[in-house]
Each structure stands twice: as structure tokens, then as C-alpha cells.
Amino acid sequence: MKRGKAIGPCTPAPRGPARPSRGLLAGALLLSLLAACRDAPSTMVVFSRDDPWSFAQADMAKAGLPVVIRGRIGNGSDGQFEAAVVDAIRRAMTWTAKPDVRWVKRAPPQSVRIIVGFGGSAGGPGACADETDGASAPAETVATLTMLLCAGDERIAEVAGRFGRPARADEPRFAALIRQATSDLFAR
């Protein structure tokens, strides 16, 4: 019985000039995309009650929604870093005509507020009861972010975020992560 020629992945490539195969090019493209994805910021909802926006809406309409920042990136002038964080939060709130958010060093404990922590300085079930003012020494870069929506001591929602590699406050991906975390925090 005469055997036929093997067909499939074991078939030897025809002889001739060497050219990159389509599979090799596709593999190289996929690897470069994966490397870019590792560098991109990402978020994950850690905890959320139904419709967190309903908790913040009334307070924002009355007096604005306070933002407490724990931890700091870089050594910019006082207020510059905080203004960048609040601006990114404000820009993310596309679902409301006038997103009134403002940075405060310490919010009244009974208030509805957003807490933003950098480098592991916020988060967890008891984070809303903690009244730390975030006056820790600033880091040049940071790799993690935690954003909470609190009503008094109660955690309404929490989002964890990370940068693929540590980020500085003046990088576009820094603002992108804050905007994404804000959107996730108030997701319905």
C-alpha cells in the first residue's frame, strides 16, 4: 500500500526565498497589542449598591459633592494635584448637566462624598468611617487607585483601579483612570 504525502502542520515548507509568514506577523502584532494593554489603566468595581447615583444626586444639587483625596502624587504646588483629580471626576460625569464636585480636606462625617485614595491609602468596608486627611508624603508615581462613594460611615460603592506601570499626575492616562473609575463608581 502506497502512502500519500502528509498534509497539515507537519508538512515541510516549500523551499525558496525566506518570507515572514502571515502567522508570524499576526503574532508579532498581537504581542505588541498585549504589551500596550498591560500599560493601559484598568478598573474593577469592588462593591456597589443599586443605583449609587441616587445617593449623590440630591447632595450635588444642594451644595456640591465633596471629594476627599488620600495620598498624593508628585510635588506640585498645593491645590494643583487636587484640582487635576476633581477636574477628571467632573469631566467623567457626562450624565449630569452641572457636575458640582469640589475638593475638601475633610468632609463632614454624615455627608455623601467621594473618597479617592492613591497607593493603597483608601478602601475596604471601614474606609468611609476613617477620617484620614490624606496628608501623607507624596510619591513621585503611583500604581493603584481606590475610589469610594460614602454616605456617612456607609460604603455605597467602591472601585479599584491600577496603572499598567506607575503613573505621574501629569500623564493623560492618570486622568483617564480617574474618569473611568468615576464612571464605574456611579454605574447603574
* Confidence class for position 57, pLDDT limits 50, 70, 90: confident
Q: What average pLDDT does this structure show over 21-28?
A: 57
Q: What percent of the chain has pLDDT over 90?
A: 23
In a domain, 171, yes or no: yes
Is the pLDDT at 130 greater than 80, yes or no?
Answer: no
Q: Name the most confidently modeled range: 54-63, 66-75, 110-119, 135-144.
A: 110-119
The C-alpha cell at 7 is 498534509
Is the pLDDT at 35 greater than 60, yes or no?
Answer: no
Q: Which pLDDT score, from 0 to 100, does residue 81 have?
A: 85
Gyration radius (Cα) of the chain, Å: 24
For 137-172, what is each residue's pLDDT tens digit? 556 666 788 999 999 989 999 999 988 777 777 888
In a domain, 109, yes or no: yes
Q: Which pLDDT score, from 0 to 100, does residue 41 have?
A: 80
Average pLDDT, the chain: 77
In a domain, 61, yes or no: yes
The domain in which residue 164 lies consists of 41-185
Give the whole-angstrom CA distance, residue 188 versus residue 179: 16
DSSP letter at 109?
T
Q: Which residue has the higher pLDDT, 67 or 123?
A: 67
In a domain, 2, yes or no: no
In a domain, 127, yes or no: yes
Q: Which residue has the higher pLDDT, 53 or 121?
A: 53
In a domain, 26, yes or no: no
Q: Which pTM value belongs to this model?
A: 0.74
Number of domains in the chain: 1
In a domain, 47, yes or no: yes
In a domain, 11, yes or no: no
The C-alpha cell at 70 is 488620600
In this structure, is the dihedral angle defined by the CA atoms of residues 41, 166, 70 and 130, taken in order, positive or negative?
positive
Is the pLDDT at 2 greater than 60, yes or no?
Answer: no
In this structure, is the dihedral angle defined by the CA atoms of residues 150, 152, 156 and 159, taken in order, positive or negative?
positive
